[in-house]
Amino acid sequence: ETGVTQTPRHLVMGMTNKKSLKCEQHLGHNAMYWYKQSAKKPLELMFVYNFKEQTENNSVPSRFSPECPNSSHLFLHLHTLQPEDSALYLCASSQEVNTGELFFGEGSRLTVL
């Protein structure tokens, strides 16, 4: 199943590094999302894009910077992260921003040293 693909699957970075997570959806959807998944906590919505326009920023620190060049691609640029930012970052898409089902990618497991 290759509906929503994320790269890299695993990333280890130091607090001073700059890295990026990439998400691509092949479903023809118009909305894309970044979620953060930490152990024993609910999935936390970070950003929402609808037709390339950011519609939601859920009070995310500026060290996380999203980019959506088109409705099929979504990036999360990372800079000067903290160890507590270590988590699984999930990308998702949906047909429209208010439609029912979210289609998730496999996630990018981030470890900040």
Partner 1 sequence: GENVEQHPSTLSVQEGDSAVIKCTYSDSASNYFPWYKQELGKRPQLIIDIRSNVGEKKDQRIAVTLNKTAKHFSLHITETQPEDSAVYFCAASMNTGGFKTIFGAGTRLFVKA
SS3 83: helix
β-bridge partners, 88: 37, 109
Q: Which is nearer to partner 1, 85 or 89 (CB)?
A: 89
Residue closer to partner 1 (CB basis): 82 or 99: 99
Q: Which residues bind to partner 1, rule: CB under 8 A?
A: 4, 31, 33, 40-43, 45, 48, 55-56, 90, 94, 96-102, 104-107
User: 71 vs 94, which CB is nearer to partner 1?
Assistant: 94
The minimum distance between CB 91 and partner 1, in angstroms, equals 9
State both tokens at 31.
């909305």
Q: Which residues on adjacent β-strands are paired with residue 49?
A: 32, 54
The residue type at 70: N
Nearer to partner 1, 58 or 82 (CB): 58
Tokens of 80: 């000067």
Exposure string over 53-82, b if 16+ CB within 10 A, otherwise e: eeeeeeebeeebebebeebbbbbbebeebe
- Closest approach, Cβ 72 to partner 1, in A, equals 17
Task: Give min distance, CB of 14 to partner 1, in A.
Answer: 25
| Shortest Å distance, C-beta 10 to partner 1 | 11
